[in-house]
Amino acid sequence: MSDLRLRIAPSPTGSVHLGLCRTALFNWAYARGRGGAFVLRIEDTDRTRSTAESEAAILEGLRWLGIDWDEGPEVGGPHGPYRQSERVVGHKETVQRLVEAGYAYRCFCSAERLTELREGQEKRKETPRYDGRCRDLDPAESARRAAAGEEFTVRFRVPEGATVFEDLVRGSVRFDHGEIDDWIMLRRDGSPTYNFVVVCDDVDMRISHVFRGEEHLVNTPKQILLYEALGETVPRFGHLPLMLGTDRKKLSKRTGDTALGDYVAKGYPRDAIINFLCLQGWALDGETEVFDTATFVERFDIVDVQKAGAVFDPDKFRWLAGDTIRRMGLADLADAVAPYVVEAGQMSAEGIAARRPWFERLVAGEQERIELFGDFPPRVACFFEADDAVTFDPKAEKNARKHEARAETLQAYLGWLEGRDDLDDPASLGAATKEWVQEKGLKIPALFQPLRCVLTGQPGGRDLFDCVALLGLEATAARIRAGVARLA
């Protein structure tokens, strides 16, 4: 049994952020690639902002990405509970122990005094920090005041000196203790704060490696000091580069979607989402852009992670999504795209099932033309329009009108078409049509451009005879007749 243990500890206070997804992926891959354990813990210490819906969304989102956990909500484990709010009894005992040992102390300063203190410091352009008024209160008096019912918080007593640690992605990092405030571990209402519980719980759950976003780097010395006060082994840390928006600031809704759900809704394939996230701060070999999760797990190492922030590139993400779609099997793609067709009101789920071969033909023609599942419905909309009211794109119509004899050509072609029995076979019909065009002494565009306009209203798109096959003789004929009149 390996004692390698990693975790992801999301706070259920909103949507499932892509940054959380990437951090989870990196932790999970490291554990899975080395036979370690992966733990999920819900960090719901902020009782006012945490919601059950958010927690459910996080579990669902992580599972959707293919991330599984050996211990955590819904699966249990020997170090539970895995929801921080259910662990407060242990947390309070630990605080008591630290106060008695002198590593922490009660602070009776009022919120007002602290606010005043901070404002004064800010006005004088000093670094805001606690002035240590309660730091050296006599322990007996402190205990007496607490017993008398006076309200207090508990602060960590940061000692003199400096903390140096070896970050797995950044190397040696040093913080002078003079820069670290005597931070609050226990709030006035008796609830513990993040920096305190995260250490308690990581200790209880025997977490050996902590990979998290760079925004946590400055918390690390506070936490290391706490591990030491507790007499516990300090885990290895690895601080991942931030995912940046196009404004080069921490990825936020300002510059684009940040929630996993947004991308799922638009129809980014799961494999593309995972693949893209892996590429934010890590590269397989610098050459290979596309790889599967198994390869990622096998090849990922925290020491190879980039130190600089990664700007999120929507263009590359879309490209990767399109590339993933192009590599999908037709049946899978049809399944993936079906809900979007239903959503758009083009077909019902039953209708799709009943006309599966037709639907797959419809999908096949778009496979190399869409980048997202959500791109599909608008691109095939013409196949669901009334035969006499197909929407003509201006460019398609202009292309059609370039040909003087369009009406006669279309008319003649329709006559020829009605005598054929290979409308279901685009290759055969296409070849025969080209011969027909030649016999008539026409140029290919003289028939193809008006025909495409009349059939689909689009200036470009899938093979024309694939359109005929999709439409069938009846609709094809109706569209040609209506089109002849409309292009007159």
**Residue 129-148 contact track with RNA, rule CB under 7 A, x = bound:** x-------------------
Q: Which is nearer to RNA, 353 or 444 (CB)?
A: 444
DSSP secondary structure letters along 386-441? -TT-PPPPHHHHHHHHT-TTHHHHHHHHHHHHHT-S-TT-HHHHHHHHHHHHHHTT
The separation between CA 353 and the C-alpha centre of its own chain, rounded to angstroms, equals 31
Instruction: Determine which one of 92, 123, 222, 253 is catalytic.
Output: 253
Binding part of the chain for RNA, among 58-66, 167-175, 225-233, 417-425 by CB under 7 A, reads: 167-175
3 in contact with RNA (CB under 7 A)? no
119 in contact with RNA (CB under 7 A)? no
Cα R_g (the chain), whole angstroms = 32
Size of site (CB under 7 A) for RNA: 85
User: Which residue of 283, 328, 407, 475 would you call a contact of RNA, by CB under 7 A?
Assistant: 283
Site residues (CB under 7 A) for RNA, limited to 406-435: 430, 434
Binding part of the chain for RNA, among 230-238, 308-316, 403-411, 474-482 by CB under 7 A, reads: 308-316
124 in contact with RNA (CB under 7 A)? no
CA–CA dist 470, 385 (Å, integer): 13
Binding part of the chain for RNA, among 63-71, 262-270, 380-388, 457-465 by CB under 7 A, reads: 457-465
User: Which residue of 77, 81, 132, 445 would you call a contact of RNA, by CB under 7 A?
Assistant: 445
253 is catalytic: yes
The separation between CA 75 and the C-alpha centre of its own chain, rounded to angstroms, equals 24
Q: Which is nearer to RNA, 73 or 352 (CB)?
A: 73
Q: Which is nearer to RNA, 356 or 401 (CB)?
A: 401
Binding part of the chain for RNA, among 24-32, 58-66, 405-413, 445-453 by CB under 7 A, reads: 445-453
Binding part of the chain for RNA, among 29-37, 94-102, 313-321, 337-345 by CB under 7 A, reads: 313-321
**Which residues face 40 on adjacent strands?**
8
Go through the chain and tell me how many residues it has. 488
Helix residue ranges, H only, 301-405: 314-326, 330-343, 349-354, 356-364, 376-380, 394-401
**Which residues face 175 on adjacent strands?**
163
Binding part of the chain for RNA, among 45-53, 68-76, 255-263, 414-422 by CB under 7 A, reads: 45-53
330 in contact with RNA (CB under 7 A)? no
CA–CA dist 414, 207 (Å, integer): 73
Q: Residue 109 to residues 115, 126, 182: CA-CA distances in angstroms?
A: 10, 20, 13
User: Which residue of 19, 267, 450, 461 would you call a contact of RNA, by CB under 7 A?
Assistant: 461
User: Which residue of 74, 138, 285, 350 would you call a contact of RNA, by CB under 7 A?
Assistant: 285
- Asked if 274 and 246 count as a contact pair (C-beta separation under 8 A), the reply is no
Site residues (CB under 7 A) for RNA, limited to 182-241: 184, 187-189, 191, 193-195, 214-219, 241
Task: Please report the sign of the dihedral spanned by the C-alpha atoms of residue 429, residue 430, residue 431, residue 434.
Answer: positive
Give phi and psi for 237, each to the nearest 5: -110, 150
Q: Which is nearer to RNA, 187 or 206 (CB)?
A: 187
Q: Which is nearer to RNA, 311 or 336 (CB)?
A: 311
| DSSP run (H or E) holding 239 | strand 236-240
Q: Which is nearer to RNA, 14 or 77 (CB)?
A: 14
Q: Give the shortest CB-188-to-RNA separation in angstroms.
A: 4
Q: Is 345 left (phi over 0), alpha (psi -120 to 50) or beta?
A: left
Site residues (CB under 7 A) for RNA, limited to 48-107: 49
Site residues (CB under 7 A) for RNA, limited to 376-405: none
Say which residue the tokens 């069938």 belong to. Answer: 472
Helix (DSSP H) and strand (DSSP E) numbers for the chain: 20, 11
253 in contact with RNA (CB under 7 A)? no
Q: Which is nearer to RNA, 2 or 116 (CB)?
A: 116
Contacts of 122 (CB under 8 A, 6+ apart): 128
Catalytic positions: 253
